[in-house]
Amino acid sequence: MIGCERPKIVVRNDFTFFSFDPKLPPAAEVEQGLLVEIETKDCFSNQITEEEQLVTEIDFSRINPATGPIFVKGAKKGDALAVRIYRIDLKEQGAIVTIPKEGILGDKVRQAKTVICNVDQDKVKFLNLSLPVRKMIGVIGVATPENTPTGTPGRHGGNMDTTVITEGATVYFPVSYDGALFGLGDLHAVMGDGEICVAACEIAGSVTVEFKSISAMSPSWPCVETKDWLYIIVSDEDINKAFYVATDLAVKSLEHALQIDWHDAYMLASLAMDLEICQLVDPRKTVRAKLPKSLISAEKLLEAISE
């Protein structure tokens, strides 16, 4: 995707955690602007390597590990932490599972099952089918006052399972503690929006990122910037409330950025904004509002939704 010829430091996956806890000691302290390669385990902590192994038989206390936490020097409480994703490298084998009573059709799931998926360059092999690789990061975020488990999404980020969080994207998080205490994990080789069966192609790998803090721009919810789009990511137990909050923030952003009447911004959002689903299988569902960068910049978006 993007060359990373600059010097970088590596954070090994020996340093994993299972809650975005501000009391955890940092695995590393890094300067802003430095490339950081973060090694990750898969969401099962690499416990599943064969199809005979079922997710119901593994240690569930080791689900959804994030590597870190990483202390970003100069990131202060009240800032936005911008995380530029330069590169995602995947291992050659992943797995997808079913779990009884889990997923959108959980009532129909009769058994736990595992399918091993081999990754060959740009293809994921599932059964006798080949799917295009769509690399993404499932768990990514910063320390939160609520000491939130890594498997739960929220204002800090966490298990958002958002397909647009991929190579070339920049993700913006609200910084609640000096240093941000960042972590990521739960890579996927391919996942459809919704992650309907409760899993995707779960895979280990590494992610190369660069950090930058933006003073006094703490967004109320995580935001993602890609080449042409800006996204506001919101999670809630009630998906309708998540859509409401995401829409409210998007309309507010257009009103602020374009200096137009709220009702005009509301109509403009109906013309130009998309509402999309990220994941539907956690107790907190995650959605995104998608805005074109031709109408609003990342700076104006952060200004509008900063707390």
Q: What's the pLDDT score for residue 171?
A: 98
Q: End of a domain among 214, 239, 263?
A: 214
In a domain, 126, yes or no: no
> For the whole model, what pTM was predicted?
0.96
Q: End of a domain among 183, 214, 245?
A: 214
In a domain, 115, yes or no: no
Q: What's the pLDDT score for residue 5?
A: 65
> What is the C-alpha separation between 138 and 116, in angstroms, rounded?
19
Q: For residue 272, give the H/E element and its range.
A: helix 262-272
In a domain, 97, yes or no: no
Same domain, 228 and 209: no
Q: What's the pLDDT score for residue 222?
A: 98
In a domain, 62, yes or no: yes
CATH value at residue 73: 2.60.120.580
Tokens representing 105 are 């059709």
In a domain, 170, yes or no: yes
Which residue range is the domain that position 32 belongs to? Answer: 8-90+134-214
Could you read off the pLDDT of 212-239 as tens digits, one per residue?
999 999 999 999 999 999 999 999 999 9
In a domain, 101, yes or no: no
Same domain, 204 and 239: no
Q: What's the pLDDT score for residue 6?
A: 72
Q: How many CB atoms within 10 Å of residue 107?
A: 8
Which residues of 110-255 form beta strands (DSSP E)? Answer: 113-120, 123-126, 129-132, 136-141, 148-149, 157-159, 170-174, 182-188, 202-214, 223-225, 229-236
Residues of the chain falling short of pLDDT 50: 1
Same domain, 154 and 260: no
Same domain, 162 and 270: no
Same domain, 143 and 195: yes
Same domain, 241 and 294: yes
Tokens representing 203 are 């895979």
In a domain, 174, yes or no: yes
Long-range contacts of 106-115 (CB under 8 A, 24+ apart): 106/198, 109/197, 112/54, 112/55, 112/56, 113/54, 114/48, 114/50, 114/51, 114/52, 114/53, 114/54, 114/55, 115/51
**Overall domain count for the chain:** 2
Q: What's the pLDDT score for residue 121?
A: 86
